[in-house]
Every structure is written in structure tokens, then in C-alpha cells.
Amino acid sequence: MFRGEQLVLDHGFVALEDSCADDLSVVNAARVSFNAHHLEMEVGDDKLIGFLLKNRHGTPFEQNFFRFRVKAPIFVFREWHRHRIGISINEWSARYSELKEEFYIPDAEHIRVQVGKPGQYTYEPCDKTTALFFQAALTTHCEKSFKYYKEAIGMGIAKEQARFFLPVNVYSEMYWSCNARSLMNFLSLRNAPKAMWEIRQYAAQLENIFREVMPVTHQYFIENGRIAP
Amino acid sequence: MFRGEQLVLDHGFVALEDSCADDLSVVNAARVSFNAHHLEMEVGDDKLIGFLLKNRHGTPFEQNFFRFRVKAPIFVFREWHRHRIGISINEWSARYSELKEEFYIPDAEHIRVQVGKPGQYTYEPCDKTTALFFQAALTTHCEKSFKYYKEAIGMGIAKEQARFFLPVNVYSEMYWSCNARSLMNFLSLRNAPKAMWEIRQYAAQLENIFREVMPVTHQYFIENGRIAP
Amino acid sequence: MFRGEQLVLDHGFVALEDSCADDLSVVNAARVSFNAHHLEMEVGDDKLIGFLLKNRHGTPFEQNFFRFRVKAPIFVFREWHRHRIGISINEWSARYSELKEEFYIPDAEHIRVQVGKPGQYTYEPCDKTTALFFQAALTTHCEKSFKYYKEAIGMGIAKEQARFFLPVNVYSEMYWSCNARSLMNFLSLRNAPKAMWEIRQYAAQLENIFREVMPVTHQYFIENGRIAP
Amino acid sequence: MFRGEQLVLDHGFVALEDSCADDLSVVNAARVSFNAHHLEMEVGDDKLIGFLLKNRHGTPFEQNFFRFRVKAPIFVFREWHRHRIGISINEWSARYSELKEEFYIPDAEHIRVQVGKPGQYTYEPCDKTTALFFQAALTTHCEKSFKYYKEAIGMGIAKEQARFFLPVNVYSEMYWSCNARSLMNFLSLRNAPKAMWEIRQYAAQLENIFREVMPVTHQYFIENGRIAP
């Protein structure tokens, strides 16, 4: 267990392992333009943060650090790892150690139907019978996949090849470090109506943590239409 | 078919779609330090490239461009996409369109056993009986996985959830752009004895293309012990 | 002389030395999401580019390359070099070779007065007498600075220390490589009303070149309010 | 005054304003490969850090953060700002506020002569008479430059143009954030015999701070020949 784990999906979590971030660091990074420096947030500093966000002065939001521990299915990490700037990743290796028998099986109410044209998809809930059938079939399939995986390892096959049996909803874990600017970019894209529902659940937890650590920055991020500077 | 496709594994390929790269660009990028400029490679320019590589003057190797089209299994892309610097990626989306029934099934002679301790693994060929059994079981499993995937889509389940049936050896495609510096970094890590055999097959084809496009740079990359600047 | 030099300020220029970029590369990078590929721009492709820009799908605009040769004063490069992402730089070294006696002396009509409060400065033309006085004083000062620089070198002082006499308006040269996404980011910030007038002259020339090479992308960049994706 | 200011050159300093870094974070970032986690450094963890550095496993050294406040002459910042990866910068703006009358005048014993060929320069002390003459001339020149700068501002000229009188040895200040990997890259290039003497003085102070914060990582950085992973 990691301190402060926020549970996500059926087996996942997000935890802030460590950070070095506050609203004051934004103010001071901006004020260095005038060679000024504050010891604590002063009157007007809130508005300065709003001004910076609105006018796309992005660098003052980089002078801070968040390190998260995240557990999520591989298909979620596949999207997550496309973020490259101001980001560091270390992930559990299925080449070096065995994965656990943990697969993401969506709740019946989150099994969905794709509606509309490419680029403009919306999603609606599936009918219940189909959802339950999908859930059951997926659960059975994942169990079998894991059984084959273990058997292949048992026969001596390298873990990096035995995993070919495992589907993309198997869980993995990673450390993910970022700064407030790269985090806001992530939130603007992933805690958004068009984002895949599963990654959005993670992004929503990240946003809760961000709000606690940098409340003024978060407030103006919202007021600025959730656009990262 | 993409022009110049180099086949890799059972269904994959690497193709250089376009590039803007030659050894001369390295020389000129370095010579701008002295505000000098050459119209073609001159005597001594080869050695200058060797000097730059050996002394870790990396930036002259960034003033160029390669755009590749790559088809590879997801577990290979999972490693590939960890490279972040000087890299651009656009990949086939299994949220937006259906994947094809193409899975990586290793040749019997490349099914392997993991030997040794973590961090120091080596790999040896599997005995033939085990290899054939693994191959057959994996083939059957992949066929079933794809059948479930198509059935789920047929039932109306969103493609982004139907894919939970698909294992990590399913093929995908991407555009991958880089420069000679980021490419050498990739080659030094992935066309290397410790790299996963499958990604190494791709890296070897990338290296062939790199050798053709920038022969002098490649020659000194080799002489410098395959260390990227 | 570099082919296609576009003159900027009194001694500067921008030249596109090489590129590997067109609108089609954007379309194909986007279409790989559906595993589709076009051989030339087709009906609807223009609108796809507009859609991508508007919805901040930035990566398809990275699959291309521009290499510029630029001559500009150091105070301009000081701003220019803050751009870090998707950018490569090689610059003339005043440690290794002597700089030339070329200083930026602004035209009388571009010598200006700063009006308003920090963060909201505007600029107005200086009165003519002051402008001429400033010009003359600066010209004399730069000539003396260069004389001291040469004398210090003549006395054997290392070039890297002799340059301490040189002001920040001395000219330098560099190679600057980028892609359409990083270029649009540069243009949105530097070819903008709030940008420093001198760097804006360079950005305007870069934008002319960008418009020629990727006309559709440029058109939608304008329609999208000059916001980079 | 910033806490912990380490004085550098005649008016400069380096101060660690905040950090989120220790050797344990490296170990845990590496151990996530095996889904393992330590609460404190254990037997063998030192060697793991050495193994990672030697074998160029760079990412575990990115899961941490240092924020420095730095005061240095512009010609030093010109080199410093070429570092782009894992780096954030906010600097005093001479467009928005007036610079102070602080110029770097080298000590007589650090005024030097350049010996040898380009790419292989070495430096030797200047004879004392020349050094004293250079010092005196530079001091006078800087005083005059600053007088012209103030006069131009007094006449109403915009600060961003008035500064054209100022030489590249004028002091500026910045925030500079990095992680241990980007810091080691900086140290390997800038706290090195071939580096410019002035930037090396800054790099040496950064290295002292790095040694205190991450002693095991630093020790193996040295043992690994000061090559960053």
C-alpha cells in the first residue's frame, strides 16, 4: 500500500508519493522577471497566477515537481505514455518479473456503445444483457489467458514471451513524475469529455491531488477553460 | 505497401518514408561554431564527425530528420515509445478503428528460455517440443481472442473496450520521426545484445537505413563503441 | 550568402536551408489512426487539418522538418533560445572564433518608448531628436567596444574573455531546426503584438516561409487564432 | 539573500531553493521494474545505483527535483541555456526591469591566453601587466556602458533597447530546475577541464550541492568517469 492511495477502477490506484510544489513557486518564478521574490503569497499574487495562465506564460508553472505511483491497465498506460514533455516514467517490467492475475473488468454500467463518426464519437451505455455477457466472457477469457501465461512460464518460456497470452487490460504499475505545466496539459486532454472513460478516472484523481497542492493555480486553470499554458 | 518496406518478424516492417539527412549537415552544423560552411564533404570532414561523436558534441547530429513507417506488435511499441527526446509518434488507434487479425507468433527457433538473475538475464533456445507446443497454444489463443473481439464489436461494444480481449502481441502501425542523435540513442540501446530479441530485429533494420543515409556518421558511431553522443 | 536569404534588421537574415515538410504529411500522420494513407491531398483533407488544429491534436504537425540559418543580434537569440521543445540549435562560438564588427543599430523610426505597467507594456515611437542621439551614441559605443575587443585579442587575451567588451546587440549566426508544431508555437509567441519588435521581424520572415511550405496548415493556423496545437 | 547562497565569481551565486531528491528515489524507481519498493536504503542498494549508472539506465535518476536560484553573467547563461532536456528556466527580464550595475571583472590570475588549435584549446595565465591592463580597461568600459544605459533610460528609451549598451558580462538572475539525470549531464560537460572556466565555477558549486543531496549517486557518477546515464 502506498500512502494516500486513491482507488481507481477495479484494481488500480493513484498515489502522490512526493512533491515539491505550491502556488508560491509560480509567483516567484514569474517575479524573477523583475528580480523580485516573495516569502509567502501576498495580495495580488492570485491574480498574477491568473494572468500568467491566461496569457500562456507557461514556464513559471514548471518550477515544481510531483511524483505519483500509479496502477492501471496496459491500455490506459498506452495512452498515458504518449505524454513526453516534462514527464518521467519507470514501469514494472514484464520482461523481468511475473505480472499478477489482475485484469480490468469494467462495471456493467460502464460497458458502452460507440455512437457517431470517427473523430466525433460519443458513448452510450450498453443494454444490460449484452453488458453482463461481455463481462462474463471477458472474465473467463482473462482467467484462461493468465493460466496459459503461467503454464508457459512453468514450461520455462521466457517471461517476455509468455506474456504474449496476456490481454491489454492486465494491470501494471509505474512511477510518473511531472510538473504543474505538464500535469495541466495531461488534465486538459485526459480529464475531458472526449477522453477515454477509463483514463479519465485516473485523470480525475490526479486533478483532485493537484487541487489540494496548488489550489490557486487549479482555480485559474478551471477559469481559463482548462487550457494548459 | 510502403516503398522500401523492410520486413521484420512475421507480419511487421520498417520503411523510411522520407528524410532530410546527410553527413554534410553534421559538418556544417559543427562548422557554424566558426561561422564556416561547406558545399560538400571535404578532406578532413570525416574526421570532424569522428571527433564530434567521440567528444560527445551531440547537437550537430540533430540537424536532420528521418520519418519511418513501422508495423510491430504492441509489446514492441511499449518499449519503443519510452524514447521521448527528439521523437514524434502517430499510431493506429484501436479506439477509432478495428485492428486486423495479425499476431506475432515467434518462429520455433526464437522461442527462448530466460537464464540468470534479474538485470543479467541471458536467453537460450527452448527445446523443440516445448517451442512447438507454445507456438500452437499461442496461435489458437490469438485466434480465439480475435473471435471474441469481433463478437464483442458485433454486439455493439465500443472498439476501445472490445479490444480488452486482444493480447499484447497484436500488430499495430505508426509513424515514427527522429533525428540522427535520437536514432543513435535508440540503436545503442535496442540494437544491442541485452535488448529484447524482437525489438532488436526492428532496430537492426533501422540501422541498415541509417548506414545508407549517413554512412560516415554510422561508421564513427561503430568506432565509438556504439555510444550515442 | 545562403540561398533564399530573407534580410532582417540591418545585418541579419533568415534562410531555409533545407526542409522535409508538406501538408500531406499532416494528413497521413493523422490518418494512421485509422491505418489509412493518402498519396496526395484529397477532398476533405484541408478540413481535416483544420479539425486537428482546432481540437489540439498536435502530434501530426510534428512529422516534418525545417532547418533554418539565422543571423541575429545576441539579445534576439537570448529570447529565441528559450524555446526548447522540438528544437535544435548550433551557434557560432565566440569562444572559438572572432566575431565580426556587426552591431544592430535600430532605424530611427524603430527607436521607442515604453509605456504602461509591467506585463502590459506598449511601445510608441521616440521623438526624432532623442532617436538620432541614441543612434549616434550607440554607434560610437559599439565601434569603441569592438576596438577594445580587437585590442584585447591583440594582447593575447582569450577570445572568450575579450568578448566581455561586446554589447548584446552584436550579431551571431546559428542553425535552427524545428517542426511545424514547434514553429507554430514560436510564431504564436514571437510574431505577435506583445513580442519584442526585433524578434518579431525574424518571426514574420519565418512565417512567410512556413506559409509557402505548408499553405493549408498555415491557413488554419490563422483561422484558429494563431494558437499552436 | 537566498538561503544557502554559495558565492561564485565576483558577484554571482548558486543557491538550492528547494528540492525533492534522495538516493532512495533512484532505488525505488529502479525497483518498480520488479514491482518492489523500499522504505529506506538497504544493503545492496548502493551497488544497484552503481549498476544503473554504469549500464546507462537513466530514467530512475529523473524521479527527483532540484530548484536552484542562480546569479551569473549573461555570457555564462548563454552556455547554460543550451541545456534543454529536463530543465526549466525563468530569468530576470531586461525588457521589464532595469539591470543593476554589476559586471563580471575577472581576477587578474584568471585572465588567460588561448593556446592551441580550435577544438583543442588550452588556456594559460596571462602575464600580469596585460592582465591588470585588461582589468582596468574592462572596468572603465563597463562603467561607461552602464552610464550610457542609464542615460538612455533617462531619455525615455525602452529598457529593451537601452540595454544595447550593455556588454555580455553584465549579471542576471534565474531560477533553474532540473533532475539528477539532467544535472549529471550538465556537470559532465560544465564541471570539466574543457569547459569555460567561469561556468565551471558554477558547475563546481552545483556539484557540491548534488553530492550533499544524493551522496551515493554522486559517488558512482565519479566512479563511472563522470558520464551521465
Instruction: Please identify every stretch of chain A with a pLDDT value under 50, giving residue numbers as ranges.
Output: none
* B-C contacts at Cβ under 8 angstroms: 98
For A162, B118, B163, C27, D39, the CA distances from A98, given in Å and listed in that order, are 9, 12, 22, 41, 22
Q: Which of D112, D103, D144 is nearest to D131 (CA)?
A: D112
CA distance B22 to B5: 21
At D30-52, the pLDDT tens digits run 999 888 888 999 999 999 999 99
Residues in contact with A36: Cβ distance below 8 Å, sequence separation at least 6, in sequence order: none
**What amino acid is encoded at D188 in this protein?**
S
Residue C22 lies in a domain: yes
Q: Residue D119: what pLDDT?
A: 65
CA distance A78 to B81: 9
pLDDT tier, C1 (very low <50, low <70, confident <90, very high otherwise): low
CA distance A61 to A65: 10
Could you say which of A56, A119, A189 has the minimum Cβ distance to residue C51?
A: A119
CATH no. for residue A208? 3.30.1360.170
C-alpha torsion angle, residues A123, A124, A128, A131 (rounded to 10) = 0
Tell me how crowded residue C115 is: count the other CB atoms within 10 A of its CB.
12
pLDDT tens sequence for chain B (229 residues): 577 899 999 999 999 999 999 999 999 999 998 888 889 999 999 999 999 999 999 999 999 999 999 999 999 999 999 999 999 999 999 999 999 999 999 999 999 998 887 667 889 999 999 999 999 999 999 999 999 999 999 999 999 999 999 999 999 999 999 999 999 999 999 999 999 999 999 999 999 999 999 999 999 999 999 999 9
- Does residue C118 carry a pLDDT above 80? no
* End-to-end CA gap in chain B: 34
Q: Does C134 touch chain B (CB under 8 A)?
A: no
Q: Residue C7: what pLDDT?
A: 97
For A138, B66, B163, C34, C174, the CA distances from B151, given in Å and listed in that order, are 12, 40, 11, 20, 58
- Cell of residue A110, nine digits: 460502464
Residues of A in contact with D24 (CB under 8 A): none
Asked if residue D88 and residue D158 are part of one domain, the reply reads no
- Cell of residue A132, nine digits: 453482463
- Does residue D145 carry a pLDDT above 90? yes
Q: Which of C183, C196, C208, C219 is nearest to C76 (CA)?
A: C196
Using the CB atoms, write b or e for B101-131: b if 16+ within 10 Å. ebbbbbeeeebbbbeeeeeeeebeebeeebb
At B114-158, the pLDDT tens digits run 888 766 788 999 999 999 999 999 999 999 999 999 999 999 999
Q: What is the pTM of this model?
A: 0.97
**What amino acid is encoded at B147 in this protein?**
K
Residue of D nearest to B56 (CA): D189
For chain D, give the mean pLDDT.
Answer: 95
Residue bearing the bigger pLDDT, D118 or B216 = B216
3-class secondary-structure state, position D9: coil
Asked if residue D202 and residue D181 are part of one domain, the reply reads yes
pLDDT tier, C116 (very low <50, low <70, confident <90, very high otherwise): confident
Residues of A in contact with D62 (CB under 8 A): 88, 177
Query: Which of B165, B181, B204 lies at the terminal end of a domain, its last residue?
Result: B165
CB B84 within 8 A of CB B93: no
B119 to D189: CB separation less than 8 angstroms, yes or no? no
Asked if residue D178 and residue D90 are part of one domain, the reply reads yes
Q: Residue B1: what pLDDT?
A: 59
Structural domain containing residue C179: 6-95+171-223
At A106-155, the pLDDT tens digits run 999 999 998 887 667 889 999 999 999 999 999 999 999 999 999 999 99
For strands A88-91 and A171-178, give the pairing: antiparallel
Residue D229 lies in a domain: no
Residue C55 lies in a domain: yes
Residue bearing the bigger pLDDT, C117 or B218 = B218
CA distance D170 to C167: 9
Q: Does D108 touch chain C (CB under 8 A)?
A: no
Q: Which of B157, B148, B150, B97 is nearest to A124 (CA)?
A: B157
CA distance D198 to C158: 13
At D81-99, the pLDDT tens digits run 999 999 999 999 999 999 9
Q: Residue C35: what pLDDT?
A: 86
Q: Residue D120: what pLDDT?
A: 75
At C58-76, the pLDDT tens digits run 999 999 999 999 999 999 9
Q: Residue D218: what pLDDT?
A: 98
Residue B103 lies in a domain: no
Asked if residue D130 and residue D84 are part of one domain, the reply reads no
- Cell of residue B105, nine digits: 507468433
Residues of D in contact with C160 (CB under 8 A): 75, 114, 196
Residues of D in contact with C137 (CB under 8 A): 148, 152
- Cell of residue A218, nine digits: 487549479
Residue D20 lies in a domain: yes
Asked if residue A69 and residue A24 are part of one domain, the reply reads yes
- Cell of residue B137, nine digits: 497454444
Asked if residue B91 and residue B10 are part of one domain, the reply reads yes
CA distance A105 to A73: 10
Could you say which of A62, A89, A92 has the minimum Cβ distance to residue D59?
A: A89
Residue A25 lies in a domain: yes
In Å, how far is A190's CA from the nearest CA of chain C? 13
Asked if residue A186 and residue A158 are part of one domain, the reply reads no
- Does residue C100 carry a pLDDT above 90? yes
Residue C103 lies in a domain: no
Q: Note which residues in 51-90 of chain B have CB less than 8 A from chain A.
A: 74-75, 78, 81-82, 84-85, 87, 89
CA distance C207 to C58: 18
Positive or negative: CA dihedral B20, B23, B28, B33:
positive
Query: Which of A165, A196, A213 lies at the terminal end of a domain, its last residue?
Result: A165
Asked if residue C78 and residue C61 are part of one domain, the reply reads yes
Which long-range contacts (C-beta less than 8 Å, at least 24 apart) are formed by D138-142? D138/C148, D138/C164, D138/C165, D138/D103, D138/D105, D138/D169, D139/D103, D139/D105, D141/C144, D141/C145, D141/C148, D141/C165, D141/D167, D142/D103, D142/D105, D142/D167, D142/D169, D142/D170
Q: Does D182 touch chain A (CB under 8 A)?
A: no
In Å, how far is D142's CA from the nearest CA of chain C? 8
What is the domain count for chain A?
Answer: 2
- Cell of residue B171, nine digits: 500488430
Phi, psi of A174 (to 5 degrees): -150, 160
Residue C101 lies in a domain: no
Query: Which of D150, D165, D180 lies at the terminal end of a domain, its last residue?
Result: D165
Q: Residue A119: what pLDDT?
A: 65
Give the residue-averaged pLDDT of D183-199: 97
Asked if residue A184 and residue A84 are part of one domain, the reply reads yes
Asked if residue A87 and residue A10 are part of one domain, the reply reads yes
Give C170's DSSP letter. B
Asked if residue B179 and residue B161 are part of one domain, the reply reads no
Q: Residue C3: what pLDDT?
A: 74
3-class secondary-structure state, position D73: strand
- Cell of residue A48, nine digits: 498574477
CA distance D76 to D89: 14
Phi, psi of D119 (to 5 degrees): 85, -15
CA B122 to chain centre: 21
Residues of D in contact with B82 (CB under 8 A): 59
Q: Residue C225: what pLDDT?
A: 95
Which long-range contacts (C-beta less than 8 Å, at least 24 apart) are formed by B222-226? B223/B50, B224/B50, B224/B53, B224/B54, B226/B187, B226/B188, B226/B191, B226/B192
In Å, how far is A28's CA from the nearest CA of chain D? 9
Give C35's DSSP letter. T
Q: Residue D34: what pLDDT?
A: 85
Q: Give the largest Cα separation in chain D, rounded.
A: 68
3-class secondary-structure state, position B179: coil
Q: Where are the beta strands (DSSP E) in chain D?
A: 6-8, 12-20, 65-73, 88-91, 112-115, 122-125, 171-178
Phi, psi of C94 (to 5 degrees): -80, 0
Q: Residue A34: what pLDDT?
A: 86
CA distance B177 to C59: 11
- Does residue D116 carry a pLDDT above 90? no
Positive or negative: CA dihedral A115, A121, A125, A130:
positive
Asked if residue C17 and residue C75 are part of one domain, the reply reads yes
